[in-house]
Structure 1
Amino acid sequence: MTTHALARRQAIAPHTLVGMAALAAVVALWSSFALSARATDGTGLTMADAAIVRFAVPAIVLAPWIPRTIRRLREERQIVVALVLLAGLPHYLLFAWGAHLTSAALTGLLVPGTVPLFVAVLLFVRRPSRMPRRRLVALAAIAAGVAVSAVMTTGSAGPGGIVVLLAAGFVWAAYTVGLSRSRLDPVGVIVLISLASVVGAIVLAVIGALPSHLLSGSIEPGAVVGYALLQGVGTGLLSTACYVVAVKHLGSSIPAAAGALSPVLTAIVAVPLFGEPVTAGLALALALIVSGVAMSALTPAVPPRPGIRFPRRSER
């Protein structure tokens, strides 16, 4: 190995380690997101209330960065901004709705489990290229796991909830692709998503499109505080920041695939928390998805350089 190649590998390694550490945090936080979304019914919060609390916390904490983020939006392409915004209220409402219709384990399985598939499809449609055979096998294993979970998992999960969760997975995949092309830093991404989402949630509650107990004052403060800490701080701030860091350092495919590991943690914790058994169908689905994720992670991939600038259409 030449000195230049060795120096280049040593320069890339710290970014890779940072990205992998961020991914580990994302897996844990996403699992808590699925569990808390499933437990929303017991708090008295409606979906609109949960969305307001979830996005208001980071919007308030990061309020000093709002002017800077608005200025930087002028440099972003509109399609990129639209894709980034999908991670806010659209994804949250789909995820919460799906969690209401299904079990916690299935909620934590289908959304992150389908993201790698949708990301691969979106990237292929945008720029068709030959995919490595190992990655194809990995994606096939994940797809098989998702199919098994939909067919063999019994209980409260219905076909409607599965469809909603698949839609949430597609929305997050589109966000992941858009995020990899954004010039915004992690703080800017969180500010953009949180501010737009909390405004949208309040508007939907005020016009009556979504019911709200929070705006009417008929909800206990304790439930709001607890949910604000778990969802607002944990998911709203930490998980979003960690995911942005992971995508910036590792690209869009690896974080999307590694995120599918969160169902394992979700399924395990859901057993004592909600009394949801790990059925044979769910166990098989988990095994297939984890195998696919591991194989995908072992497939060689070249991470993008931090700070890469995507040219505007007029510059191409």
Structure 2
Amino acid sequence: MTTFALPRPSLLSPRVVVGTAALAAVVALWSAFALSTRALDGVGLTMADAAVVRFAVPGLLLVPWIPRTLRILRTERPAVVALVLLAGLPHFLIFAWGAHLTSAALTGLLVPGTVPLFVAVLLFLRHRAAVSRRRLLALGAIVAGIAAAAALTGDTASVGGVAVLVGAGFVWAVYTLGLARTRLDPLGVIVIVSLSSTLAAVALIVTGVMPSHLLAGTADLASLGTYALVQGIGTGLLSTACYVVAVKNLGSSITATAGALSPVLTALVAVPLLHEPLTAGLAVALALIVTGVIVFTLAPRRAARPLDAASVSPAAPNRG
């Protein structure tokens, strides 16, 4: 993870104000992503419809960057491209499936919460990168939180949904390692992920592999427009831009740590918006996983150079 060396500005300096505003937008947009994905059934869209909207909107807006991205892509290694593409339709469908089986709170919590765990494990297996004791304790808290989420959810479907969301976290962790090795810039990543995912989702719809209300002409246009605004523009473009602004003005550690507040906001908003209860079991899982993510982000890295190179914010999945 790139760390920006910043002076100690006044709390009211333009840099801090701009960075704080950008960070608040990031937390809100990430929370909106989890909430809107959980609410797919209520807005009359299938998973395939949602994928088309999610990826087609940023793809269309970034059409001018396609030629430049394709030129860079010719020099990229196929294995790295495959890892980067995991952030698109594969991750989205797993994420949406898990959201369908669980609650918005667990959807917003488990995926970002498990990414640092899987990144650390994968890097240890690949490089034998040492991890500090505090980070090991943080990872232990994340594992305990996952166990609490599975044990304290009420039914089999929710337990299965926890497993699916943990799988989505693993997919994003693998993508993270590919992202560290790609020659594409952030806009290039968004372009290639958006275009490939849109084409794949349309192919699944046209061939009848996945159902579509869009193809049948029964999708609600008002809901479709709202979803396109929240997922396509909000998650696909604005959250990425705001995250970069926040990191440059506040530093990577502050931004990544504050990003862990997104699951808390998701859980609180889901109570009045989706009528989901904030149970004691969910509160325990939230406390353990969010604490683990924060400690992991702030803890010192010990002889873990490969981990530094491949790390991104542990609270930033689902934004590619």
TM-score, normalised to structure 2, is 0.82
Map of 1:309 onto structure 2: none
Map of 1:31 onto structure 2: 31
2:4–2:248 CA contact under 8 A, matched in 1: no
Look up the equivalent residue of 1:282 and give its one-letter code: L
Aligned partner of 2:5 among 12, 31, 52? 12
Look up the equivalent residue of 1:203 and give its one-letter code: A
Instruction: Note the alpha carbon deviations across 1:165-194, whole angstroms, 9 max, x for none.
Output: 111111111111211222211111110110
Q: 1:171 and 1:245 mapped to 2: Cα distance?
A: 26
Instruction: Note the alpha carbon deviations across 1:251-278, whole angstroms, 9 max, x for none.
Output: 9999887654421111111111111111
1:83–1:175 CA contact under 8 A, matched in 2: yes
> Map of 1:213-232 to 2, 5 A cutoff?
213-232=213-232
Instruction: Note the alpha carbon deviations across 1:217-270, whole angstroms, 9 max, x for none.
Output: 222211111110001001111234556788999999998876544211111111
Look up the equivalent residue of 2:173 and give its one-letter code: A
> Map of 1:200-211 to 2, 5 A cutoff?
200-211=200-211
Secondary structure of the equivalent of 2:216?
Answer: coil
Secondary structure of the equivalent of 1:214?
Answer: helix
Map of 1:117 onto structure 2: 117
Map of 2:235 onto structure 1: 235
Map of 2:61 onto structure 1: 61
Secondary structure of the equivalent of 1:158?
Answer: helix
Q: 2:239 and 2:196 mapped to 1: Cα distance?
A: 18
1:176–1:252 CA contact under 8 A, matched in 2: no
> Map of 1:105-254 to 2, 5 A cutoff?
105-154=105-154, 157-241=157-241
Instruction: Note the alpha carbon deviations across 1:141-172, whole angstroms, 9 max, x for none.
Output: 11111110111133685222122111111111
Q: Residue 266 in 1 paired to residue 266 in 2?
A: yes
**5+ residue gaps in structure 1?**
1-9, 306-316
1:25–1:239 CA contact under 8 A, matched in 2: yes
Look up the equivalent residue of 2:227 and give its one-letter code: Y
1:112–1:256 CA contact under 8 A, matched in 2: no
Q: 2:127 and 2:221 mapped to 1: Cα distance?
A: 50
Q: 1:126 and 1:139 mapped to 2: Cα distance?
A: 18
1:27–1:259 CA contact under 8 A, matched in 2: yes
2:91–2:171 CA contact under 8 A, matched in 1: yes
Considering only aligned residues, what root-mean-square deviation do their CA atoms show, in Å? Answer: 3.2
Q: 1:174 and 1:23 mapped to 2: Cα distance?
A: 25
Q: 2:181 and 2:245 mapped to 1: Cα distance?
A: 13
Q: 1:69 to 1:106 in 2, by over 3 A?
A: same
Q: 1:115 and 1:11 mapped to 2: Cα distance?
A: 22
Q: 1:230 to 1:203 in 2, by over 3 A?
A: same
Q: Which runs of 4+ in 1 moved over 3 A?
A: 17-27, 240-261, 301-305
Identity percentage over the alignment?
A: 68
1:44–1:219 CA contact under 8 A, matched in 2: yes
* CA-CA distance at 1:103 after TM superposition: 0.9
Q: 1:143 to 1:37 in 2, by over 3 A?
A: same
2:35–2:104 CA contact under 8 A, matched in 1: yes
